[in-house]
């Protein structure tokens, strides 16, 4: 930041003016022993300004603090001492946060919130309180009797300002790239009405309810938590600030749960609450944002990694095919076997990578459907034939009765079917058949894949359609998968407006099913799916 330029001077004057005005406002409210202000916006404003613009803006703070106190009648030396304390508070706080903790002003990381609370809220403000109150004491304005009480009020007033006003300014100082959807705007309006309603109910007489002194401060947490969880840090800290303003105005007017005794005691209570509320809400918002960010990065990573993996695998496949052609007429059976095995493994790898890519796409709602009209039974025949070719030892028994057409993405529905059948083969003994059936039921085509395998315990049944969920069973045979096949299947079926589910009992096999809306009207039947298709247990349906 360059010093001495016109923008520097303009900003200095601006900061001085704001500091001076808000300080006068604070002074007009109420003070402990005439000096320690319980509503002290200047601390939060100066700390934020020095964090955003740089510590070299300190002269504005010094001048503002000095003038306010001097005009109040504080002796010259004490006023200088107080101004020095206030300035040092902003300088030390801003220096620690900018240079030592490398604060990111959006406050969207937990570490930023913690550093603001500790360095700005707790530590820097103690400097101002100590120097300020000591100056008053040294110049004989305060007695030793009043020292502790005044110090405490000074510290708390500054702290709340650093915890409520500083985050407000910091969060708004960072431009944001995303825009709200209409739905989010709607939700935001509802949350805001809720907050305004709550605070008007408790801090004004508008609704005719008298909440004077009632211990019901907890009612403010639901709206605040709503902001923290559903919106960003900016919205959360703004809500806290709005509540602070309403609470201060209400408490001064004699309304609300903080009205217990004298005004400065009431304000102290109020500040304590606001400090806790602000810290809680900021931490919560940061945690939620960080979690969202981690999820996004994980998806990005998987998408990039799968794309990168595709290239070498594609070329490996091409070279194996060249080799196979090259040794087309060889008598060496082992060589042919090795090459076929390599090719099979490459195909498996390609499928796995495809699944990984799909899971990320599904998570961000990017699975694209190419819908066409087709008869599901035809698709079942095709898929079962393909799988049966590789599974010569196992029988996949087909019995279908769904001749109606659906409008769906044939490849994606095939993928769901393949996943069901492969799971049925993977999680059931080698000597047991797998059954694939279909029927029309309540304007829908239902497809069932039934096995006589290990089954799924009830507590897992609802979760296996979640992302990356795998049942951790010791007796589970077959290779461990990624736990994403069913998640992708569920997403695909959901996007088609169908439902997906399972009926299963431990050790008694499972039936997985999905439904798809049919084109035109189908037969309507009452009741549940026919029992012959299911495997017992509760029917879990999504």
Q: How many residues bind ligand ADP (CB under 6 A)?
A: 20
Give yes or no for residue 424 binding ligand ADP (CB under 6 A): yes
3-state DSSP assignment of residue 441? strand
Among 414, 481, 517, 522, binds ligand ADP (CB under 6 A): 481
**CA atoms lying within 13 Å on the CB side of residue 76:** 0
Identify which range of 97-105, 377-385, 397-405, 464-472 contacts ligand ADP by CB under 6 A. Answer: 464-472
Give yes or no for residue 471 binding ligand ADP (CB under 6 A): yes
Phi, psi of 468 (to 5 degrees): 65, 15
Cβ-based nearer residue to ligand ADP, 409 or 451? 451
3-state DSSP assignment of residue 481? coil
Residue 464: CB minimum distance to ligand ADP, A: 4
Residue 427: CB minimum distance to ligand ADP, A: 3
Give yes or no for residue 464 binding ligand ADP (CB under 6 A): yes
When CB distances to ligand ADP are compared, the closest residue is 481
- Distance CA(266)–CA(214), nearest Å, equals 12
Angle at CA of residue 233, ends 228 and 239, nearest 5°: 65
Give yes or no for residue 452 binding ligand ADP (CB under 6 A): no
Identify which range of 204-212, 299-307, 446-454, 513-521 contacts ligand ADP by CB under 6 A. Answer: 446-454
Give yes or no for residue 451 binding ligand ADP (CB under 6 A): yes
Torsion of CA 292, 173, 113, 188, to 10 degrees: -50
Among 75, 354, 483, 522, binds ligand ADP (CB under 6 A): 483
Give yes or no for residue 461 binding ligand ADP (CB under 6 A): no
Give yes or no for residue 470 binding ligand ADP (CB under 6 A): yes
**CA atoms lying within 13 Å on the CB side of residue 258:** 25
Interface with ligand ADP in residues 6-45 (CB under 6 A) = none
In this structure, the strands spanning 396-401 and 372-375 are unpaired
Residue 352: CB minimum distance to ligand ADP, A: 9
Q: Which residues of 296-307 are buried (b: 16+ CB within 10 A; e: fewer)?
A: eeebeebbeebe
Give yes or no for residue 235 binding ligand ADP (CB under 6 A): no
Using CA atoms, how far residue 279 sits from 60, 289, 293, 340, in Å, is 28, 15, 21, 62
Contacts with 142 (C-beta within 8 Å, 6 or more apart), sequence order: 33, 35, 133, 136, 150
Among 239, 456, 534, 540, binds ligand ADP (CB under 6 A): 456
3-state DSSP assignment of residue 436? strand
Nearest CA-CA partner of 349 in 312, 385, 303: 312
- Cβ-based burial of 57 (10 A; exposed 0-12, middle 13-18, buried ≥19): buried
- Distance CA(48)–CA(166), nearest Å, equals 5
Give yes or no for residue 482 binding ligand ADP (CB under 6 A): yes
Identify which range of 3-11, 79-87, 244-252, 418-426 contacts ligand ADP by CB under 6 A. Answer: 418-426
Cβ-based nearer residue to ligand ADP, 290 or 473? 473
Q: What's the Rg (C-alpha) of the chain?
A: 34
Interface with ligand ADP in residues 501-520 (CB under 6 A) = 510
Cβ-based nearer residue to ligand ADP, 485 or 537? 485
Among 33, 69, 115, 423, binds ligand ADP (CB under 6 A): 423
Give yes or no for residue 196 binding ligand ADP (CB under 6 A): no
- Distance CA(223)–CA(239), nearest Å, equals 8
Give yes or no for residue 136 binding ligand ADP (CB under 6 A): no
Interface with ligand ADP in residues 425-444 (CB under 6 A) = 427
DSSP per residue over 128-163, as a string? HHHHHHHHHHHTTSS-HHHHHHHHHHHHHHHHHHHH
Residue 513: CB minimum distance to ligand ADP, A: 12
- Distance CA(502)–CA(515), nearest Å, equals 12
Among 31, 454, 493, 518, binds ligand ADP (CB under 6 A): 454
- Distance CA(423)–CA(537), nearest Å, equals 19
Give yes or no for residue 255 binding ligand ADP (CB under 6 A): no
Give yes or no for residue 349 binding ligand ADP (CB under 6 A): no
Residue 106: CB minimum distance to ligand ADP, A: 37
DSSP per residue over 317-334, as a string? HHHHHHHHHHTTT---HH
Identify which range of 66-74, 78-86, 105-113, 463-471 contacts ligand ADP by CB under 6 A. Answer: 463-471
What is the binding site for ligand ADP (CB under 6 A)? 419, 423-424, 427, 451, 453-454, 456, 464, 470-471, 476, 481-487, 510
């Amino acid at each position: 930041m360059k010093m001495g330029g016109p923008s520097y001077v303009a900003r200095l004057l601006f900061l001085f003016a704001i500091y001076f005005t808000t300080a006068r406002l604070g002074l007009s409210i109420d003070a402990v022993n005439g000096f320690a202000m319980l509503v002290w916006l200047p601390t939060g404003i100066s700390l934020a300004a020095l964090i955003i613009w740089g510590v070299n803006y300190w002269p504005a703070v010094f001048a503002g603090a000095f003038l306010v106190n001097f005009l109040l009648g504080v002796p010259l030396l004490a006023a200088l001492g107080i101004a020095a304390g206030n300035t040092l508070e902003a300088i030390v706080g801003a220096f620690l946060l900018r240079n030592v903790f490398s604060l990111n002003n959006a406050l969207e990381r937990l570490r930023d919130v913690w550093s603001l609370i500790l360095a700005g809220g707790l530590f820097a403000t103690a400097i101002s309180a100590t120097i300020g109150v000591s100056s008053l004491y040294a110049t004989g304005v305060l007695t030793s009797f009043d020292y502790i009480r005044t110090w405490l009020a000074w510290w708390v007033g500054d702290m709340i300002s650093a915890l409520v006003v500083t985050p407000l300014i910091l969060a708004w100082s960072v431009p944001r790239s995303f825009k709200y959807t209409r739905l989010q705007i709607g939700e935001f309006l509802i949350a805001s009405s809720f907050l305004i309603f709550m605070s008007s109910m408790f801090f004004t007489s508008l609704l005719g309810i008298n909440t004077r002194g009632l211990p019901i401060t907890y009612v403010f947490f639901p709206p605040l938590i709503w902001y923290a969880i559903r919106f960003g840090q900016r919205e959360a800290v703004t809500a806290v600030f709005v509540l602070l303003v309403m609470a201060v105005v209400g408490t001064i007017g004699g309304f609300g749960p903080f009205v217990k005794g004298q005004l400065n005691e009431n304000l102290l209570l109020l500040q304590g609450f606001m400090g806790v509320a602000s810290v809680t809400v900021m931490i919560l918002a940061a945690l939620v944002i960080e979690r969202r960010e981690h999820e996004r990065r994980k998806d990005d990573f998987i998408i990039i990694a799968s794309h990168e993996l595709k290239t070498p695998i594609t070329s490996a496949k091409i070279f194996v095919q060249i080799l196979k052609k090259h040794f087309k007429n060889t008598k060496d059976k082992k060589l042919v076997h090795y090459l076929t095995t390599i090719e099979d493994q490459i195909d498996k790898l390609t499928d796995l990578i495809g699944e990984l890519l799909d899971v990320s796409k599904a998570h961000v709602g990017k699975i694209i459907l190419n819908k066409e009209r087709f008869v599901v039974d035809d698709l079942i025949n095709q898929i079962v034939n393909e799988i049966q070719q590789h599974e010569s030892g196992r029988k996949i028994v087909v019995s279908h009765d769904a001749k109606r057409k659906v409008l769906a993405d044939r490849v994606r529905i095939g993928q769901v079917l393949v996943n069901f059948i492969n799971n049925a083969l993977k999680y059931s003994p080698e000597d047991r058949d797998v059954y694939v059936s279909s029927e029309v039921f309540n304007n829908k085509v239902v497809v069932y894949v039934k096995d006589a395998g290990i089954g799924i315990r009830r507590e897992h049944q609802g979760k296996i359609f979640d992302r990356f969920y795998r049942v951790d069973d010791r007796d589970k045979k077959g290779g461990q998968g990624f736990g994403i096949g069913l998640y992708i299947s569920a997403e695909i079926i959901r996007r088609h407006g169908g439902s997906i589910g399972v009926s299963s009992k431990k050790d008694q096999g499972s039936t997985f099913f999905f439904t798809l809306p049919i084109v035109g009207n189908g037969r309507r039947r009452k009741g549940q799916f026919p029992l012959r298709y299911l495997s017992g247990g509760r029917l879990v349906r999504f």
